[in-house]
Amino acid sequence: MTIRVLDPRLDPEREPLSLAPTLASLDGATIGLLDNAKIGTSRFFDHLETLLKTHGVREFVRQRKPDSSRTVPPAMLDELARADAIVSGIGD
């Protein structure tokens, strides 16, 4: 029996992606919230925004994808790039 292993990376010859460094503090931070356009995400982000404000987050950059199955348009990525950290997705 042969076992076939699939590599989910876009290019298996490249270096694996790594996580961005964590923020030292949320105090004064700008947080991006990228809504994946699924039911409930907007409401969850409303709650998360309220919660994060109590931890010193200064500003939010909120964007909503046109559709959950599409990639993020470049203009949205440009806007989100000014955030110190981004919460992306969530779900139903």
What average pLDDT does this structure show over 49-73? 94
Residue 48 predicted with pLDDT over 70? yes
Residue 8 predicted with pLDDT over 80? no
Encode the chain in three state secondary structure. CCCCCCCCCCCCCCCCCCCCCCCCCCCCCEEEEEECCCCCHHHHHHHHHHHHHCCCCCEEEEEECCCCCCCCCHHHHHHHCCCCEEEEECCC
Within 8 A by CB and 6+ apart from 74, the residues are none
Q: How far apart are CA 66 and CA 35, in angstroms?
A: 9
Query: What's the pLDDT band for 53 if we cut at 50, 70, 90?
Result: very high
Task: Tell which wins on pLDDT, 77 or 69.
Answer: 77
**Percent of the chain, pLDDT > 90?**
59
